[in-house]
Amino acid sequence: MSIVLYDLAGADPDVRFSPYCWRTRFALAHKGLPVESVPWRFSDGAAIAFSGQGKVPVIQDEGTIVSDSWAIATYLEEQVPAPTLFGGGTGRAHALFVNAWADAVLVGGIARFIVRDMLDIIDPGDRDYFRSSREARFGATLEAVQAGRGDRVTAFRALLLPIRLVLRKQAWLGGAAPSYADHIVAGTLMWPYCASRFELLEQSDPVSQWHGRILDLYGGLGRSAKRG
Amino acid sequence: MSIVLYDLAGADPDVRFSPYCWRTRFALAHKGLPVESVPWRFSDGAAIAFSGQGKVPVIQDEGTIVSDSWAIATYLEEQVPAPTLFGGGTGRAHALFVNAWADAVLVGGIARFIVRDMLDIIDPGDRDYFRSSREARFGATLEAVQAGRGDRVTAFRALLLPIRLVLRKQAWLGGAAPSYADHIVAGTLMWPYCASRFELLEQSDPVSQWHGRILDLYGGLGRSAKRG
């Protein structure tokens, strides 16, 4: 039986752009687990009420329900130890820092470049909710939040310096092979990749080249992703 | 035979404040290795010429010479596997991200709060070199770089959010026990702790409380450090 994944989808159900769902998709692919993916929209709270909370990703594995991308990754590692996502307890503890950095620095940073673009790809039924909730969060209209992005993108790219420093010494954040640390950052970058045509990274950036290599993993899971 | 560590010292040879040497001091203490510490000043290039480069930390372990704090940590892990600093190859790979983040975000960030204070504690023979090299790096006088720090410190503290997010879930960056990830960040924070009296962190900050717990490790190695 496949694991069922509730995955945020756009108006086009094949467009998947959640940075957290992508972390889970890469983790599932890393484990080689078959997945039955269920497109989910912000307005589908009832569809995941069984999980006791209101956000995706949620997975259902036989009778077990797990929500939150980090909790899902640790669950998968326990259930299917190889190939490893974390390389043991200390590796998992260190990956939590990468997860926290991605959440604190990348997610908030990226939103300011694509949040208005997202309105064009999400389901029409999600648009009022999306605009009002995000405008309340940012204290500005989506248009104002995204404005001037061409002038701001250099400062954003500078925030990726830690990734560049790591890639000078090793091919993957996981070292000689991809680990969940790669999935965290690459999954987060799948969000702007799938939800916007804005060039957040320069093609010459080593981060962009590393992301290209992630796109090609797992039978081209990321490469074949439909972009909005 | 002890490992010899060349460690940056101030005018008072007991004041040690290099963020990189502190990473090494914690790593050596973690391994329980006896250390013979040699105070070193910026003007003592000749004293470490045997290492083929001009910066500390440098360690000499019998006939083996290793410089660069990251290289030293990986060397120590190979020579003395337990207690582990990294928890295996993936843990080491993930710790490299913490190292890169500390170098890219913390070191440059902290310098702007304490670089003028450092002039008062370093060796008189180092002062001309220190002022001219750092003023060239920052493109401003040490006084100008450090000015207005009370107004800037809130923004600096916000950069530590990834650490706070991790500490909500686990006691140490290494998980249930300290690892080299803890030494990287705590070692970096030993620099402002020993070189300045400026309150970079609020005492109520979980980062400050975690740092206090690091100060108490290894027989109070950090707690007993002489502050300039």
* Run of H or E including A130: helix A127-138
Question: pLDDT value at position B60?
Answer: 98
- B3-79 is classed in which CATH architecture? 3-Layer(aba) Sandwich (3.40)
Least Cα separation, residue B127 to chain A (angstroms): 30
The tokens of A228 are what? Answer: 């909005």
Q: Which amino acid is at A211?
A: H
Q: Which of A101, A161, A170 faces B93 most closely, judged by CB atoms?
A: A170
**Interstrand relation of B64-67 and B35-40 (parallel, antiparallel or unpaired):** unpaired
Tokens (6 digits) for B15: 């004041």
Please, what is the average pLDDT of chain B? 98
CB contact under 8 A, A91 and B91: yes
Q: Which helix (H) or strand (E) holds A39?
A: strand A35-40
Half-sphere exposure of B43 (CA within 13 A, CB side): 12
Cβ-based contacts of B181 with chain A (< 8 Å): 93-94, 97
Would you state the pLDDT for residue B191?
A: 98
**CB within 8 Å of A202: residues ≥ 6 apart:** A157, A208
Specify the pLDDT at position B1.
66
pLDDT at B209: 98
Q: Say if the Cβ atoms of A93 and B165 lie within 8 Å.
A: no
What is the Cβ-side half-sphere exposure of residue A200, based on CA atoms within 13 angstroms? 27
Q: Is the pTM of this model over 0.80?
A: yes
What confidence tier does B92 reach under pLDDT thresholds 50, 70, 90?
Answer: very high
Task: Please give the pLDDT value at position B13.
Answer: 97
What is the pLDDT at residue B131?
98
Q: Which residues of A touch B (CB under 8 A)?
A: 84, 86-98, 100-101, 103-105, 161-163, 165-166, 169-170, 172-176, 179, 181
Longest dimension (CA), chain A: 49
Q: Provide the pLDDT confidence category of residue A221 given band limits of 50, 70 and 90.
A: very high
Position B121 scores a pLDDT of: 97
Q: Does residue B110 have a pLDDT over 70?
A: yes
| pLDDT (average), residues A112-117 | 98
Determine the Cα–Cα distance for residues B30 and B179; give it in Å rounded to an integer. Answer: 8
Provide, rounded to the nearest whole percent, the portion of chain B with pLDDT above 70.
100
pLDDT mean across residues, chain A:
98
A102, HSE (Cβ side, Cα atoms, 13 Å): 26
User: What is the residue extent of each domain of chain B?
Assistant: 3-79, 89-220
- The CA distance from A207 to A161, in Å, is 9
Q: In this structure, are residues B23 and B184 in contact, taking their beta carbons and an 8 Å threshold?
A: yes
| Contacts A83 to B, Cβ<8 Å | none
CA-atom Rg of chain B in angstroms: 17
* pLDDT for A1: 66
Q: Which amino acid is at A99?
A: N
Mean pLDDT of B84-105: 98
In chain A, the residue whose alpha carbon lies closest to the alpha carbon of B88 is A87
Q: Indicate if the pLDDT at residue B91 is higher than 70.
A: yes
pLDDT score, position A180: 99
**Would you say the CATH fold of A89-220 matches that of A3-79?**
no
- Burial letters A166-181, b for 16+ CB under 10 A, else e: bbeebebbbbebbbbb
Token code pair at residue A130? 């999306």
Task: State the pLDDT at residue B17.
Answer: 98
CATH code that applies to domain B89-220: 1.20.1050.10
Searching chain B, which residue's CA lies closest to the CA of residue A178? Answer: B90
**A41-85 pLDDT per residue, tens:** 999 999 999 999 999 999 999 999 999 999 999 999 999 999 999
What is the pLDDT averaged over residues A24-47? 97
Interface test with B, best of A90, A164, A179, A207 (most B CBs within 10 A): A90
Give B13-66 pLDDT, tens digit per residue: 999 999 999 999 999 999 999 999 999 999 999 999 999 999 999 999 999 999
Residue A20: name the closest of A47, A48, A58 by CA.
A58
Q: How many A/B residue pairs have CB atoms within 8 Å? A: 119
| Chain A residues within 8 A of B172 when measuring between CB atoms | 93
The average pLDDT across B199-212 equals 98
